[in-house]
Amino acid sequence: MLTLQFIPYSEIGSLDSEQKINKLLRLAKEDKIVVVEGKLKAEEEAKLIQKTMEQINSKFKGLEICDVNSDAIGEGIMNKLRNGIARLLIGERMGMTIIGPASVIKEIKKDPNKIRLFTKDVKKRRGRGKIKGGN
């Protein structure tokens, strides 16, 4: 079963970087695809990648990370100015970040108007058709 978990900014905005990274890494290690409101800071993303690399083993293959800006292509000067002021006041809440285990996510493609997230076949990954509780 594929699980998506949405985390609103209000849930992680008050956490320090270490707490935020630990929470996101824990959820991804539970085979959840996490959609976070807002973007991680560059330092947080680097630290998340570093911690991920330290924890790779036979069960945990790593993470796929993608951040998406809410800035539209061809956005007018007034909207750019308004979004810039909003970022100064409330931080990087614009956009979203998608994080998931490499064992589940095959590829994330960003196009100007959409995100395409391709997953691996879970049945192949989990034991090729074993039936639990069967006679």
Whichever domain contains 67, its CATH number is 3.30.950
Torsion, Cα 31 99 6 128, to 10 degrees, reads: -30
Q: Where are the alpha helices (DSSP H) in the chain?
A: 9-12, 17-29, 42-55, 77-90, 122-125
d(CA 70, CA 49): 23
Is residue 133, in this structure, part of any structural domain at all?
no
Is residue 99, in this structure, part of any structural domain at all?
yes
Contact, 44 vs 21, CB < 8 A?
yes
Contact, 100 vs 63, CB < 8 A?
yes
Please tell me the pTM assigned to this model.
Answer: 0.73
Confidence band of 45 (pLDDT split at 50, 70, 90): very high
Half-sphere exposure at residue 57, Cβ-oriented, CA atoms within 13 angstroms: 3
Is residue 130, in this structure, part of any structural domain at all?
no
d(CA 110, CA 104): 18
Confidence band of 99 (pLDDT split at 50, 70, 90): very high
Domain hosting 104: range is 3-125
pLDDT number for residue 52: 94
pLDDT digits (tens, 9 = 90+) for 54-66: 999 988 999 999 9
Total number of domains constituting the chain: 1
